[in-house]
Amino acid sequence: MMKSEINPRVFWGASAIIALLLATTLAMPGTADAAFKTAQAWAIDTFGWFYIAAVAVFLVVVLALGFGPAGKLKLGPDDAEPDFPYLSWLAMLFAAGMGIGLMYFAVAEPIQHYVSPPEAPSGTVLAAREAMAITFHHYGVHAWAIYALVGMSLAYFTYRRDMPLTLRSGLSPILGKRIDGPLGDAIDIFAVCGTVFGVSTSLGFGVSQMAAGLAYEYGVPDTTQVKIAIIVLVMGAATLSVLSGADRGIRRLSELNLVLAVLLMLFVMAVGPTLFLLRALIQNFGLYLDHFVKRTFTLYAYEPRAWMADWTLFYWAWWIAWSPFVGMFIARISRGRTIREFVIGVLFVPTAFTFLWMTVFGNTAISLDLGPAQGGIADAVQANLSTALFKLLEYLPGASVTSTLAIVLVGFFFVTSADSGALVIDTLASGGTEETPRWQRVYWCVLLGTTATLLLVAGGLGALQSATLLAALPFCFIMLLLAVGLVRQTNADLAGVSLPADGPAISERIKRLIVPARRADIVAQLRSQGQQAVQSVQEALEAEGWTATRLDSEADRVELTITARDGRLFVYRLSPRSRPLAAYTALEASEGRRNLAWMLAAQTNGETGFRDLTGFTIGQIANDVLTQLERWRLTEAHVQDR
């Protein structure tokens, strides 16, 4: 019998819903497309104001957490270190967040705004300037704030509060124990379905661009059969990548993606209008800042126009729909970073690179279209968006080489989106388990490829895209609850933070880093150091006349209970706790389930969080007991005074 690590209600519930929607779309693609588009148009028209307001709130919350007092809190225990080097971390979150989108729209979007701007005259210098300001707005900090909020919530509650890596965990401060019931299952099912449909439609963009590039450069027929072959090849590579783990698969591919992308960008910058691009970058950024607040809240309420629904509201809905996938993936690779470091890394660094990328490709395309191309690039974009990048490269030296590189780059982004998507879906469907049997990861990879293939054949990608965007509306409400829950929890942790005055020796910490503790090691420390430390505190209290104490000791637990005069209880507990080894580190087992890292966990008065005392001496553990007791006494005195 195949071993499994699934939450049956989420796994089978999501699979059934996906199958039902897929069957409906395949059976009547035209009807489904029209129905979903009508519903999507209604949602954007009715709740467009809500999207705009909500995204502004997300940005404010993320900035406040990152640069306020909560910024010093870590996404994990206070002694946790990041799992990945900074550049590897940035490469992975960038590849998952916007990889295919930047390849597909870097030329197409600026040209489209240049041809049909919302306010400036079409095809003019004013239109060119407005086109880049709009593009910056759509791919700037607003988009990354959406991802950052979901990722931060997931990482905080998983790695600092020791809860499952699922969306429902972030709602625990609001919903309490109800997150473990049908409501929590519904939230995770919703996230699984949204991720499957979002990734599938993104794969549709990717395969269309690869097929268009092969047809444009090598004359390969741009047919459905060729697109299916591309999907099979790419999803095969994604399956191999997801089976190898993120450290050996996704991480390496993401780093290669970033290197190739930078090389292509630098080449275009070097052979294109270099000086103009440098000037344009500075001016584009200035326009972005100048119009930041205005565009954040623009709805064209006084002069209604379809442009808003087709662009800004479409993008906000798209980023929100993608946020369970990207946020979950960012959370999985962000353990050990402070909230401030997380916000800077997720919000500003990718945005800066995106601005440079869009300037190089967008402004080069506009410059060439105004000059040598004589409108040829604009015509190509209007005829077929998938050929936009290749049409631009045609006007630069070495077009055959750079076009081939672009096709390869799209393929790699295709793979990283698919394999990271499969990992995220697998985690959600298994109740937060980060290491699952191989068949489960293969199942989701195959489902993603099958969904994209069937919809491509039946012409249902448009319907699925509309359904995905429609799902952004209810998830927007969930994100607001995630924001409230995260603010509540960080405020509570800041108010009650108390760290031991001392810690394990450097040699002990290095040992734990290289060879994580086993359960037997922690039980041995509990018996030799933990029990003696707690017992010494109890004996000292009794010597001072505080006799209302009780020490309970079991094989895997030591608990000290102190009763105050008014009946209040102080409970200090030591016990072994486990968590998977830091996600996708070099210590990950090459086969089967990932090893567990065990720790000596200290908890006070039933708190859900815990302090890691692994490697502490008897004196250091006793000091922690006294620190917590002093804190409790101060709290008790404050309550009595009131």
Position 496: which residue type?
G
Kindly indicate the confidence band of residue 97, based on its pLDDT and cuts at 50, 70 and 90: low
| 553 φ, ψ (degrees, to nearest 5) | -135, 125
pLDDT, position 4: 63
Specify whether the CB–CB gap between 251 and 92 falls below 8 A: yes
Kindly indicate the confidence band of residue 638, based on its pLDDT and cuts at 50, 70 and 90: very low
Element (H, E) at 589: none
| 33 φ, ψ (degrees, to nearest 5) | -60, -45
Average pLDDT value for residue range 35-59: 88
pLDDT, position 67: 94
Beta bridge partners of residue 578, listed in sequence order: 598
Specify whether the CB–CB gap between 378 and 388 falls below 8 A: no
Dihedral (CA of 206, 207, 208, 212) sign? positive
Kindly indicate the confidence band of residue 511, based on its pLDDT and cuts at 50, 70 and 90: low
pLDDT in tens, 280-314: 999 999 999 999 999 999 988 888 888 888 889 88
Joined tokens for residue 615: 């490697």
Half-sphere exposure of 67 (CA within 13 A, CB side): 10
Supply the DSSP symbol for 563: E
Q: What angle do CA 491, 560, 628 make, to 5 degrees?
A: 30
Q: 3-state SS string over 182-241?
A: HHHHHHHHHHHHHHHHHHHHHHHHHHHHHHHHHHHHHCCCCCHHHHHHHHHHHHHHHHHH
Instruction: Please give the share of the chain, as a percent, with pLDDT higher than 70.
Output: 86
Dihedral (CA of 132, 135, 139, 142) sign? positive
| 579 φ, ψ (degrees, to nearest 5) | -155, 155
Q: What are the helix (H) ranges across 460-603?
A: 461-496, 506-514, 519-525, 531-543
Beta bridge partners of residue 601, listed in sequence order: 575, 612
Reduced to 3 states (helix: H, G, I; strand: E, B; else coil), residue 457 is helix
Residue found by looking up tokens 């972030």 in the block: 170
**CA 542 from centre of chain:** 52
- Torsion angle defined by CA atoms of residues 118, 119, 120 and 121, in that order, rounded to the nearest 10 degrees: 80
Joined tokens for residue 352: 């800066």
Q: What angle do CA 301, 481, 490 make, to 5 degrees?
A: 120
Domain boundaries, given as residue ranges, for the chain: 8-492, 506-641
Supply the DSSP symbol for 582: S
Q: Cβ–Cβ contacts within 10 Å for residue 328, how many?
A: 27
Average pLDDT value for residue range 433-440: 74
Specify whether the CB–CB gap between 355 and 132 falls below 8 A: no
| 620 φ, ψ (degrees, to nearest 5) | -70, -40
pLDDT, position 607: 66
Asked if residue 365 has pLDDT above 80, the reply is: yes
Specify whether the CB–CB gap between 195 and 425 falls below 8 A: yes
H helices, E strands: number in the chain: 26, 5
pLDDT in tens, 67-85: 999 999 988 887 778 877 8
Joined tokens for residue 623: 């000091």
Average pLDDT value for residue range 488-499: 70
Give the N- to C-terminal CA distance of the chain in Å, as an integer: 61
Q: Which CATH number fits domain 8-492: 3.30.565.10, 1.10.3720.10, 1.20.1740.10, 1.10.340.70?
A: 1.20.1740.10
Give the span between the Cα atoms of 495 and 245, in whole angstroms.
38
Average pLDDT value for residue range 46-70: 93
pLDDT, position 61: 95
**CA 295 from centre of chain:** 25
Report the range out of 81-85, 150-154, 229-233, 530-534 with the highest average pLDDT.
Answer: 150-154
Specify whether the CB–CB gap between 381 and 108 falls below 8 A: yes
Asked if residue 125 has pLDDT above 80, the reply is: yes
Joined tokens for residue 601: 């966990």
Asked if residue 591 has pLDDT above 70, the reply is: no
Taking CA atoms, 485 is separated from 61, 145, 171, 172, 471, in Å, by 11, 16, 6, 7, 21
Give the span between the Cα atoms of 406 and 100, in whole angstroms.
11
Asked if residue 1 has pLDDT above 60, the reply is: no
Kindly indicate the confidence band of residue 459, based on its pLDDT and cuts at 50, 70 and 90: low
Give the span between the Cα atoms of 400 and 402, in whole angstroms.
6
612 burial type by CB count under 10 A (0-12 exposed, 13-18 middle, 19+ buried): buried
Q: Name the least confident of 65-69, 169-173, 205-209, 636-640.
A: 636-640
Tell me the DSSP string of 322-341: HHHHHHHHHHHT-TT-BHHH
Residue found by looking up tokens 């794969």 in the block: 203
Asked if residue 463 has pLDDT above 80, the reply is: no
Joined tokens for residue 283: 């001016």
